[in-house]
Chain A
């Protein structure tokens, strides 16, 4: 009898991977980072990083699958503590989509790292490099998966601190300066965010996002000022992180001087996750509690987005370094994303969310292509790349495909998001925005066209004598993402439809 009772109470092995998917998004890369830090060999650390990135993508896809099949958001209580006391991970279609995006970019681009890191980073620092990369990945995944406002701050700092260190590993001394400036701006942004959360905590007494959404409304009746101040702090703080014009000053140098793999990864993920945080807090938390249309935030956001789309695009036209040009183009594309947010209709938000994916895919392709050029030629200055298209046909071909997508040519991913944004604008009665979208695309024609002109219509110089397409480990990730640019332009089942579900969740929560 006593033996039976003991057997009944003794803990039994009951590990079901499906129950733990939310936490695995964070601890798989975290443990991978620790293992990388324990190894002393760069190639060994690379193997760990690759295995971790690939299995993380599998875990993220499983979670998305689970979320799309479930009626309610999937929740996970850390340490068994129920919210609002404990930290809750809460996953719905929106963050599951972001998780797959981040994990996907990590998994596809990691083979690209092997050669470029081998060339750009000293052998004894390579294992630390991969550890930092996985730490950054873990922070980004954590930001997307968590349902706790303060936990977002912690993961934001995990990803940002490792990103600063990764950028500082660039070979040019200006990389150090870029990392320092990013550190100052990023820390100000994160501190603004945490001030906003603090004000919210003082008036509502909770940090859980879902709980905040229900409590801000009643609190707004008695004390509106702290909540408005909190909203302002949070929007400005995250805008710094996502490089909303005119808070983008850290971005061009950080992307231009970082190691090429870091540029590719951060350009495709870091700002996207920050956009997700803004969407989540603005629509789910504040939008669910107070009437946002009474506040002038949408108008401000609209103006800044339009300014970003034009001014940053024009700055891109005048850049000689292709990497900096692409960085300015990123600022402009982020303007497109926030434009959909300012429109705040279902179609507009769908455009924003699908552009998160599409922009990540095409910008990663572009940065990888130019990274391959830097790998072979050693520079990304346009003046020295005359005729590169003939020497590196596959690389530059993929550059052109992704470039067409940045412009928004039909049949590419960029077209789908611009189309959705256009529909959203017309729906909201803001039809002049369609001209804005077309206008910014026309400027993109100029800066992408400049590269194409240099690459294809000039005779190769002597400095390109040894240039040829990079090895397969760099070419395959590029080709995969290049193909994805076309695929998402033709079949929107996995992009626009999930984005639409996510947009519905955001709009449905609005008061």
Chain B
């Protein structure tokens, strides 16, 4: 019962951990380069959640000073994650661009087949 309660109270962290581990698993276990990048994107999005969920205060508003409010959420994690999202998008775009070029050069996006084609030469 207590375990269930702690699961319910900290559900955001469990989602974070699930995304983190499954993303990393996909990156390691899949041979398909596109799938690897999807895993990488999942792994990175777990970080966004890791930063954002402690920054949110339940009942707090955006930190624009106003006499009507006294409780504000921490804006800094949002700023940091905005940067991290941009970095993540750039990484994903570069990864996909490389995958397109690899497909043109090798005719496949499967790592095992690519290694086989390189070794045959």
Contact = CB atoms under 8 A, between A and B. Distances in A.
Interface string A186-200: 011001001100110
Interface stretch (A22-30, A160-168, A306-314, A383-391): A160-168
A129 to B, nearest CB: 15
B71 interface: no
B31 interface: no
Given A188-B43, A198-B47, A183 B95 contact: yes
Interface string B83-121: 110010011001100110110011000000010001000
Nearest to A194: B47
Contacts of A183: 91, 94-95, 98
B47 A168 contact: no
Interface residues of B, number: 29
B113 to A, nearest CB: 12
B101 A168 contact: yes
A177 interface: yes
A366 to B, nearest CB: 25
B91 A161 contact: yes
Contacts of B118: 174, 177
Given A176-B105, A179-B98, A184 B50 contact: no
User: Interface range on chain A: under 10, 10 to 19, 20 to 34, or 35 or more?
Assistant: 20 to 34
Contacts, number: 67
A180 interface: yes
A487 interface: no
A476 interface: no
Contacts of A72: none
Interface in B1-43: 20, 24, 27, 33, 36, 40, 43
Contact of A164 (B24, B98, B99, B106): B98
B94 A164 contact: yes
Contacts of A199: 50
B11 to A, nearest CB: 17
B72 interface: no
A202 interface: yes
A92 interface: no
